[in-house]
Amino acid sequence: MRAFVLPAARSTPVFAEVAAVPPADDEVTVRVEASSVNAFDLAVLDGRLRSLEHRYPVILGRDFAGVVTAAGAGVRRFAAGDRVFGMTARPYVGDGAFCEQLTVPAAAPDEATWMAALPDPIGMQDGGALATAAVAAVRAVTAMRPRPGWAALVVGASGGVGSYAVQLLARAGARVTAVTRTERGAAHLRDLGVHDVLTEAPAGRDLRYDVVLHLGGEVRRAAGCVVPGGRLVSLLHAGPADAGRPDVDVRSVLGRPDLGVLNDLAQDVAAGRLAVPRTDTFAFADLPAALRAVRAGTPGKVSVRMGKP
């Protein structure tokens, strides 16, 4: 099958023919119909995740949506023909989603099962732009514990995670302000319903927020925007010592998925309560252009239409 791979450390990604892996007893194989680009993919390409085991050739990509084509003998939850979405779930960097046939664990609804049914109303392109960014947004917003009427600031809001987070915060009743450095990002956020969009995190003491979500830029700058006794949540591994605000509750969270979160997200999208913030779609053969588009600051989710490159 065709896959988009990193052949070796410090190499350039290429399309290559790799062997499709038949499912083990606890796995399913999915014909990948859609994917999207995440910050994670750029981090792998840039060699910023070398502390994790890499199995070369590394098939890049994390998010997927598609149709189950084969299920191992121990799999009860899925069968051939099921529409599914999720993110690759290996404890190493390697068997990613930028390929035609993806084999993933699926036997039981435990923490290794990062795949859920994709309800019929959700198109494949939306399904492929959902898991990684939306789950991270759910985890972050849950940790923020916003209350109705609270002032919430999202720094680095125009990207995939931010585009979901501003919607979740608004649904929780928070008054949302978003920070993006570009006019394109600002227009995108206004399209998502955010009225207050700033071009940089406010530095003065007059503008203070009850909760701040840190998705980009200097954490100290973001922490400077929190009211004393307020909360800052970072997806960039920033902790209390980095934030320099002993009077603020600083939490670093991870975008760990579970089946319940994936199912809730699918229900929200299917019911129109959550918009998938897709801004551009590229063919599989144009993946290098999709990656360049994300690097160039395309806001929201950049989607990839899979199939023969």
Task: Provide the mask over 136-155, with x wherever binding to ligand NAP is found by CB under 6 A and - wherever it is not.
Answer: x-------------------
Can residue 236 be called a binding residue for ligand NAP (CB under 6 A)? Answer: yes
Nearest to ligand NAP of 92, 247 (CB atom):
92
Output the CA torsion sign for 148, 149, 152, 158: positive
Q: How far is CA 102 from CA 4, 89, 92, 107, 222, in A?
A: 12, 11, 15, 15, 39
Can residue 175 be called a binding residue for ligand NAP (CB under 6 A)? Answer: no
Rg (CA), the chain: 19
Nearest to ligand NAP of 36, 113 (CB atom):
36
CA atoms within 13 A on the CB side of 133: 37
Q: Give φ, ψ of 166 to 5 degrees.
A: -65, -35
Nearest to ligand NAP of 105, 160 (CB atom):
160
Can residue 86 be called a binding residue for ligand NAP (CB under 6 A)? Answer: no
Of residues 160, 168, 68, 167, the one with CA closest to residue 118: 68
In the complex, the smallest distance separating the C-beta of residue 138 from ligand NAP, rounded to whole angstroms, is: 11
**Interacting residue with ligand NAP among 52, 254, 271, 289 (CB under 6 A):** 254
Of 50-58, 122-130, 131-139, 279-287, the segment contacting ligand NAP by CB under 6 A is 131-139
Can residue 13 be called a binding residue for ligand NAP (CB under 6 A)? Answer: no
Can residue 185 be called a binding residue for ligand NAP (CB under 6 A)? Answer: yes
Q: Give one word for 144, left, alpha or beta, with left for phi > 0 and alpha for psi -120 to 50.
A: alpha
Q: Is 149 exposed, middle or buried (0-12, 13-18, 19+ CB in 10 A)?
A: exposed
Can residue 198 be called a binding residue for ligand NAP (CB under 6 A)? Answer: no
Q: Is 132 exposed, middle or buried (0-12, 13-18, 19+ CB in 10 A)?
A: buried
CB 114 within 8 A of CB 96: no
Of residues 104, 29, 103, the one with CA closest to residue 70: 29
Nearest to ligand NAP of 147, 295 (CB atom):
295
Can residue 305 be called a binding residue for ligand NAP (CB under 6 A)? Answer: no
Of 19-27, 88-96, 156-164, 278-286, the segment contacting ligand NAP by CB under 6 A is 156-164
Nearest to ligand NAP of 57, 255 (CB atom):
255
The residue number with the shortest CB distance to ligand NAP is 159
**Interacting residue with ligand NAP among 23, 127, 146, 216 (CB under 6 A):** 216
Of 87-95, 175-183, 241-249, 265-273, the segment contacting ligand NAP by CB under 6 A is 175-183
Can residue 235 be called a binding residue for ligand NAP (CB under 6 A)? Answer: yes
Of 174-182, 190-198, 203-211, 272-280, the segment contacting ligand NAP by CB under 6 A is 174-182
CB 145 within 8 A of CB 174: no
Can residue 89 be called a binding residue for ligand NAP (CB under 6 A)? Answer: no
- C-alpha of 208 from chain center: 28
Task: Provide the mask over 22-41, with x wherever binding to ligand NAP is found by CB under 6 A and - wherever it is not.
Answer: ----------------xx--
In the complex, which residues of this chain contact ligand NAP (CB under 6 A)?
Answer: 38-39, 132-133, 136, 156-162, 180-182, 185, 215-217, 235-236, 254-255, 297
